[in-house]
Amino acid sequence: MADLEGNLDAKKYAPQTPLATFSHAVRGASNLDWGMQHRLSRIINPETGRTVMLAFDHGYFQGPTRGLERIDLNIAPLEAHADALMCTRGALRTSIPPATSAGLVLRASGGPSILKDLSDEHTAMAMNDAVRIGADAVAVQVFIGGEHESRSVQNLTTLVDAGYDAGIPVLGVTAVGKELTRDARYLGLATRIIAELGAQIVKTYYCDEGFEDVVAGCPVPVIMAGGKKLPELDALTMASRAVRAGAAGVDMGRNIFQSAQPAAMLTAVRAVVHDDADPQDAYEIFREAAS
């Protein structure tokens, strides 16, 4: 055949060059399957090793939270500016455009509402639906020290097993009840347990003292939870301190969608996380964007 003439001579095998190896910016991910590493790189920016996640999964137990009354109007316009979205499958299917380029983290545990004991959760979605949607990870609450600790641990390990089958990472969330102290001792315990049980990412709260030890003691990426609504400068300062202590980014909800200018606040948070902007400089970015 004419198209094969010279084909053998044209091949170059470079026998003196070792096979290429590829590093991964995600902590603890180098031994994971290709599919998991690929999905993690859609959540955590490979260039910075950090992420700005936009959380709006609050409705699964709070109902129509302030700022989330209309996800299609309040959140959908922001999705292009977030590295990843953390939401429920119901909100995703009804209110977020399928063409989004953001990574997708789906809430996979739930059960009680704010009218009940929140720690009494079960798995709330099957892994094959996460595959069907195209999720990059699923999230599960883990109540270390809570009344239903063992059940929430089982929720985590069940999803971890299913995630390995599907190539989908699991994000374990340290759920802190009113009776538990958000200090480094507790957060270090909870994050380490969640990672040891197989979660590929852990989301936890920030603490003023010892947060760097919490991060250092966890062998997978630690994402800081935004928590309650704070003044913009305070939220930016907390995010800055978290990433400078080693956090792989932030997962903010109320501090974004309850801000007077959500898009401007998201821009400022990105400056802190990805550009190491000083909080005061990021606040000026917020003010300029808001105006």
Residue range 180-238, pLDDT digits in tens: 678 999 999 999 999 999 999 999 999 999 999 999 999 999 999 999 999 999 999 99
Beta strands in 82-179 (DSSP E): 84-87, 103-107, 109-110, 122-123, 137-142, 170-174
CATH number at residue 119: 3.20.20.70
Q: Would you state the pLDDT for residue 181?
A: 74
Is position 158 within any domain? yes
Contact criterion met (CB below 8 Å) for 66 and 258: yes
- Per-residue pLDDT, 206: 97
Whether 108 has a pLDDT exceeding 90, the answer reads yes
Domain that holds residue 100: 25-259
> In sequence order, what are the residues at sequence separation of 6 or more whose Cβ sits closer than 8 angstroms to the Cβ of residue 148?
117, 119, 120, 121
Residue 285: band (very low, low, confident or very high) from pLDDT cuts 50, 70, 90: very high
| Cα–Cα distance for residue pair 7/97, rounded to 1 Å | 46
- Whole-number CA gyration radius for the chain: 21
- Domains in the chain: how many in total? 1
Model pLDDT, residue 15 = 84
Average pLDDT of the segment spanning 78-96:
96
Choosing from 11, 12, 203, 229, which is the catalytic residue?
A: 203
Residue 203 is among the residues annotated as catalytic for this protein = yes
Give me the chain's average pLDDT, please.
92
Short-list 279, 284, 193, CA closest to 242? 279
Asked whether residue 7 is domain-assigned, the answer is: no
pLDDT, mean of residues 269-280: 98
Which residues are within 8 A (CB) of 150 and not within 5 positions of it... i.e. 6 or more apart? Answer: none
Q: Is 70 exceeded by the pLDDT of residue 178?
A: no
Let me know if residue 275 belongs to a domain: no
Own/partner pairs, 68-74, CB within 8 angstroms, 24+ separation:
68/257, 70/95, 71/95, 71/96, 72/96, 74/257, 74/262
Q: Mind listing the pLDDT tens digit for each residue in 126-158?
A: 999 999 999 999 999 999 998 889 999 999 999
Residue 47, SS3 per DSSP: coil
Q: Has residue 266 been placed in a domain?
A: no
Quote the DSSP letter at residue 19.
P
The residues, ordered by sequence, that sit 6+ positions from 10 with a Cβ below 8 Å of its Cβ are: none
Residue 114 has what pLDDT? 75
Domain assignment of residue 191, yes or no: yes
Q: Three-state SS for 187?
A: helix
Look at 151 and 112; give whichever has higher pLDDT.
151
Q: Does residue 282 belong to any structural domain of this protein?
A: no
Query: Is residue 224 domain-resident?
Result: yes
Q: What pLDDT is attached to residue 5?
A: 62
Q: Is the pLDDT of residue 240 over 60?
A: yes
Give me the pLDDT at residue 185, please. Answer: 95
Q: Is residue 150 part of a domain?
A: yes
Place of tokens 């903010």: 252
- What distance in Å separates the CA atoms of residue 248 and residue 45, rounded to the nearest whole number? 10
Of 61 and 79, which is predicted with more confidence? Answer: 79
